[in-house]
Amino acid sequence: MMCPMLMFSVAASKTPEMTVLTASETHPVDPASFRRALSCFPTGVAIVTTLGPGERPIGLTISSFNSVSMEPPLILWSLARKALSLSAFRAHPAFAVNVLAADQEELCRVFASPVEDRFAKVDWTPGIEGVPVLAGTAASFECRKWRTYDGGDHEIFIGEVIRHSDSERTPLVFGKGRMEPFPVGIG
């Protein structure tokens, strides 16, 4: 039996009029095992915030945050197209990424749940363009929206970092479906 990788490269090398099979056609991805494999890559946890209609604070828990570029200073994160906050993040010119500290696990849950007022139990101050910067975090990045890209069932937001801060607080880590403090003794 030909291995899926070989099938892909043989098909891709044929003449243009031939049907070129995509990786997903030769090698269907099962969502549950895809998620399980992704969970082997631990990340931090953040709450990304902006302002909605009437300057209402908007925010949700994310783990898709990553660095992109040093010059200019760029970061990215992705937002599910089905998220209720999508229109607010599309409309506002700025957002803040608030990297959660180990003792903020409860906030992580609140900002991933359909609660009435996600900001009820957290102090925040207005950052650039008024976007909420949460108190007690490990770090924060205030960004001007730089570009957005199609990311399948997500939209990818790239932000130019205008202001950032960090603290001595231990970051919260998410991996293998669990939340843990950043391991003691590392870093």
**What's the rounded Cα separation, in Å, for the pair 141 and 62?**
14
- Give, as ranges, the residues between 166 and 185 that touch ligand FMN (CB under 6 A): 174
Encoding tokens for residue 88?
């607010």
> Residue 80 interacts with ligand FMN (CB under 6 A)?
yes
Is 175:41 a contact under the CB 8 Å cutoff? Answer: yes
Angle at 149 between CA 87 and CA 172, to 5 degrees: 75
> Residue 85 interacts with ligand FMN (CB under 6 A)?
yes
Q: What are 99's strand-pairing partners? A: 46, 139
Looking at the Cβ atoms of 7 and 139, the one nearer to ligand FMN is 139
Encoding tokens for residue 7?
């099938």
**What's the rounded Cα separation, in Å, for the pair 21 and 11?**
6
Least separation in angstroms between CB 170 and ligand FMN: 17
Is 159:75 a contact under the CB 8 Å cutoff? Answer: yes
> Residue 110 interacts with ligand FMN (CB under 6 A)?
no
Considering only 51, 75, 76, 79, the residue that binds ligand FMN (CB under 6 A) is 79
Q: Which stretch binds ligand FMN (CB under 6 A): 2-10, 25-33, 81-89, 139-147?
A: 81-89
**What's the rounded Cα separation, in Å, for the pair 144 and 163?**
10
Dihedral Cα 27, 23, 9, 156, nearest 10 deg: -150
> Residue 63 interacts with ligand FMN (CB under 6 A)?
yes
How many binding residues for ligand FMN (CB under 6 A)? 15
Residue 63 DSSP one-character state: S
Least separation in angstroms between CB 51 and ligand FMN: 14
Looking at the Cβ atoms of 83 and 158, the one nearer to ligand FMN is 83
Looking at the Cβ atoms of 8 and 100, the one nearer to ligand FMN is 100
Considering only 61, 98, 104, 140, the residue that binds ligand FMN (CB under 6 A) is 61
> Residue 50 interacts with ligand FMN (CB under 6 A)?
no
Binding site for ligand FMN (CB under 6 A): 45, 60-64, 78-80, 83-85, 108, 112, 174
